[in-house]
Amino acid sequence: MIIVTGGAGFIGSNLVAGLEQAIGGDLVVVDRLGTDEKWRNIAKRDLAALVPPEDIFEFLDDHRGDVRAIFHMGAISSTTERDADLIVRENITLPLKLWHWCAENRTRLIYASSAATYGDGEAGFDDDDSPQGLAGLRPMNAYGWSKHAFDRRAVRLAASGVHPPQWVGLKFFNVYGPNEYHKGSMKSVVAQITPKIAAGETAKLFTSHHPDYADGGQLRDFVYVDDCVRVMLWLLEADQVNGIYNLGTGAARSFADLARAVFAALGQEERIEYIAMPESIRDRYQYFTQARMDRLREAGFPEQFTSLEEGVRRYVKGFLTAPYPYR
């Protein structure tokens, strides 16, 4: 049995689809579906169980010894969430309890960290998971801080000998791809601008308020969700790998490049308009992210990552413009 928390969410549902195709077997999703269309993210899956998050530990205790691995993708993932107590409960307290359950029951744990732990990037994007390396990072929002706090606790617990037989934290960079439609304003820019471009509108991107970056020249490490799934499936086989690792492509690209890729995928001429960045985010806006991928390579991950142009093409043609856009 493999359990995916947040398994009806964006990355989680893509992982469940990948697990179903690669290994089959008993797959369990722990998540809330709510009242929107999020259920469609798992509508094609043949699940052994769908468990409400509040029942996870009762379920785990009932299936003690049956669980091969837990992928903990569930979290409060909004970078604009203001309820810090909620973030602590969901992003620190709950995963710590899950960590201890996995340690006691010798169950492998792979969990979602975030590139938001790097803050404005002044300290770089090196996934040094030593206590000293982590201590220098300064996240800019409560979400990033919560992920960073758990990473630091995981490293301390691992050093003390209290840890699952395999534990891996993945610092996801700017992930895009199918099944993110329920995320509202937190959807990727690809998902936000494709319907507008397809309808004949311009692509609207933020102006820059940094002298080193042109309008639309803000840089991100955009990674296609299929690549994230391939890494996690590889980790399931590479049970000797432990630690915290970046998960991006290692190549920073601009938002203007991303918009051009969407126009190309739709076979349209480029039409980009620059609009003022909201003042509410100007003082905590990241102008550059780029994952250092050396450690994941050194750990043995052999595959190449999808280029921005190819990832956008697959997403736009295979999902965003398809009659049924869900995986």
- Tell me the whole-structure pTM to 2 decimals: 0.96
* 254, 219 contact by CB (below 8 A): yes
Say which of 183, 213, 285, 326 is annotated catalytic.
183
User: Sign (positive/negative) of CA torsion 81, 83, 88, 91?
Assistant: negative
pLDDT surpassing 90 at residue 286: no
The pLDDT score that the predictor gives to residue 79 is: 76
- pLDDT tens by residue, 63-122: 999 999 999 999 988 877 889 999 999 999 999 999 999 999 999 999 999 999 999 898
Sequence-separated contacts (24+) of 296-299 with Cβ below 8 Å: 296/127, 296/231, 296/245, 296/246, 296/247, 299/238, 299/241, 299/243, 299/245
Question: Can you tell me whether residue 7 is helix, strand or coil?
Answer: coil
Cα dihedral 59/3/78/316 (nearest 10): -140
| pLDDT for res 280 | 83
User: Structural domain boundaries of the chain?
Assistant: 2-173+223-250+291-305, 174-222+251-290+306-327
Task: Specify the CATH number of the domain 2-173+223-250+291-305.
Answer: 3.40.50.720
Ramachandran assignment for 116, one of left (phi > 0), alpha (psi -120 to 50 degrees), beta (any other): alpha
Residue with tokens 């692509």: 203
* Structural tokens at position 133: 């390396």
To which H or E segment does residue 168 belong? Answer: strand 167-172
Q: Is 143 a catalytic residue?
A: yes
Catalytic residue among 118, 143, 224, 315: 143
* Confidence (pLDDT) at 163: 98
Per residue in 240-279, pLDDT (tens digit) is 999 999 999 999 999 999 999 999 999 999 999 999 999 8
304-313 tens-digit pLDDT: 999 999 999 9
Ranges assigned E (strand) in 39-125 = 49-51, 69-72, 108-114
For residue 121, the tally of other CB atoms under 10 A from its CB is: 16
- Residues 168, 242: contact at Cβ < 8 Å? yes
- The answer to whether residue 284 scores a pLDDT higher than 90 is no
111 catalytic residue (yes or no): no
**Which stretches within 23-55 are classed as H helix?**
none
**Which CATH number among 3.90.1150.110, 3.40.50.10420, 3.30.1310.10, 3.90.25.10 corresponds to the domain 174-222+251-290+306-327?**
3.90.25.10
Tokens describing residue 65 = 């010894």
Residue 184, C-beta contacts closer than 8 angstroms, at least 6 positions apart:
none
Reported as a single tens digit per residue, the pLDDT across 140-175 is 999 999 999 999 999 999 999 999 999 999 999 999
- For residue range 11-59, what is the model confidence (pLDDT) as tens digits? 999 999 999 999 988 999 999 999 999 999 999 999 999 999 999 999 9
